[in-house]
Structure 1
């Protein structure tokens, strides 16, 4: 577990916090509050607490901007009202800094309302959406620290009921992001009837809290529309990588992610095809809102470019109903309720093609690259900064980060034995004694539901 995260993020001389610093406001923002995380303020809980309101509250009258703070004398026997359709605590654009890595203890101290397992729900109202954030993970301690540091206050300001799941691939073999997402979805739905599933790379940090972590009720939503890696532009129209959101029904309708993409690349384009084949389309927030900043990193050992991805992509149309949630096998080694997230350590097996000498697409993959498919043409569109190199033919970008990848062990289906669930707040490593020595540690629409 990432208990070795170093010092804290910060540039503010008093508090050492930079999360949430406003860079500007849209023309018609919601009522402005002094929200924890704005420059000069405390990064504490997203729901205003100490120093969180603009004006004082004197003689029982609220003197600040925006709604009054929640009443503490409310009748506990009465169910809370629904949260407003638009949270009054949003601040819009944020400044994200990667100057220093926060420790988990510092993140925990700043988010006292987060419960074991990384679960949260508003105290004063009933959330309109229940969102599970699922993060495929291995060997990214610093990235995880940044993500938790920024994401917890971000989600609390949106007044969501949420949980964060870290799906940790055991071993040192080839990483399989797609299969880890399937595992995370299956395990998360055992805990809660989530309204929305957010599939989130660990190295992408949202830069605008108007980018709501809720699902579109009709179509899958691609959320990381504008990443700094691509010059804050969408690389091609069918791009579905980084951060995406689906309802459980939508996820099952496309049969989840494919399980056979070992290594970097291809699985997101497979999903875009599945969405179309299932009779849906990809929807997105505005480019001005869907901004994400990527944590810079080098390529990962065990997550090398997948030379077989074109062979797999050409088969999507005939295989998508057979490869996915209905063919998922794995063994849950341990489940640990960390104070900031639920850690799922899993054995998902190994790449059956590992060790083959062929580097490049086979006959089917070459046919895919030379076909006249409109979808293929979209995949071959030029990316910013690549010159004449085309997406499907180019090597992996140095800063590419569709989540970390790498894999191991043998998988014989979901184990019938329930692993011990711990929640003492200690290091997950103690609860996950089966981990190998190396390679570890790594909307609902408005209105009532």
Structure 2
């Protein structure tokens, strides 16, 4: 019988959510004890026991395939649930740390997989489809700040050749080992660090405004420099959000 370890990460919410950085941290903290990762959205619950979570020896295995995921069906989609060996995750240098807020880090990760000529496998011959393979609970109102696009976030969120597992900045606040239904679970409480000059969208607009206001008291020239560099010549903090069409949870059975 295969033994599986579980590593759960709790983030200290000083900044916005960064799924990719948390996955990088999970890899760094578990690589000596585990030999592969299950990059698993917490709101995507498998309903089909035919899905195979075994070791992905030949390459990344995309459990939440486009034909099975309840929402995303484009052929380059690798989000939701992806299994990948430590060897291949290291080969890709993990995921980009530039994606603060919800979404798009998986699309960048696909480009890394493609660049390294790794083949993504997907489930074959399963008896379910996108309507009934997963139970999907997705509430966009729970953390609305993570859906914002701040400043030049849209333009800069492309293929990232500079950040990854070897550059993620964080502090490990605590580590706790617990047992749940006989399974060993490691709980990590982490604090993500952000380079505001590189990714100002790690902060909310309110946080950015307070930061610049305090900085102006001691270094007004630097404030002008940051506004020029991060938000364009007029220093505008442009935001774009996509609120859900209906005020309800997205649930697919």
8 Å contact from structure 1 (residues 255, 325) kept in 2: yes
8 Å contact from structure 2 (residues 64, 81) kept in 1: yes
Aligned partner (choices 35, 42, 50) of residue 202 of structure 1 = 42
**In the alignment, structure 1 residue 326 sits paired with structure 2 residue 160:** no
1:251 partner SS: helix
8 Å contact from structure 1 (residues 197, 245) kept in 2: yes
**In the alignment, structure 1 residue 163 sits paired with structure 2 residue 5:** yes
Q: What is the aligned partner in structure 2 of residue 255 from structure 1?
A: 93
Unaligned runs of 5+ in 1: 1-126, 128-159, 361-393, 402-449
Q: Which has the higher helix share?
A: 2
* Cα-to-partner distance string for 1:214-234 (whole Å, 9 max, x where unaligned): 233222121112233x2xxx5
Aligned partner (choices 54, 63, 84) of residue 214 of structure 1 = 54
Cα offset, 1:289, TM superposition: 5.4
- For residues 34-433 of structure 1, the aligned pairs below 5 Å read 127=1, 160-190=2-32, 192=33, 194-225=34-65, 226-228=68-70, 230=71, 234-286=72-124, 288=127, 291-299=133-141, 300-307=143-150, 308-314=152-158, 316=159, 319-320=160-161, 322-340=162-180, 341-350=185-194, 352=196, 353=200, 354=203, 355=208, 357-359=237-239, 395=242, 397=244
The verdict on how the C-alpha distance between 1:169 and 1:219 changes in structure 2, with shifts beyond 3 A counting, is same
2:169 partner SS: coil
The verdict on how the C-alpha distance between 1:272 and 1:358 changes in structure 2, with shifts beyond 3 A counting, is same
| In structure 1, distance between residues paired with 2:250 and 2:90 | 28
8 Å contact from structure 1 (residues 262, 306) kept in 2: no
Cα offset, 1:267, TM superposition: 0.3
RMSD over aligned Cα atoms = 2.5
Q: Which has the higher strand share?
A: 2
Unaligned runs of 5+ in 2: 209-230, 232-236
Cα offset, 1:396, TM superposition: 5.9
The verdict on how the C-alpha distance between 1:302 and 1:335 changes in structure 2, with shifts beyond 3 A counting, is farther
- Choose between structure 1 and 2 for higher RCO, CA contacts under 8 A separated by at least 6 residues: 2
8 Å contact from structure 1 (residues 266, 309) kept in 2: no
TM-score, normalised on structure 1?
A: 0.41
Structure possessing the higher radius of gyration over alpha carbons: 1
* Cα-to-partner distance string for 1:276-330 (whole Å, 9 max, x where unaligned): 011112221136457221124243144223455542343x1xx33x210121221
| In structure 1, distance between residues paired with 2:42 and 2:28 | 19
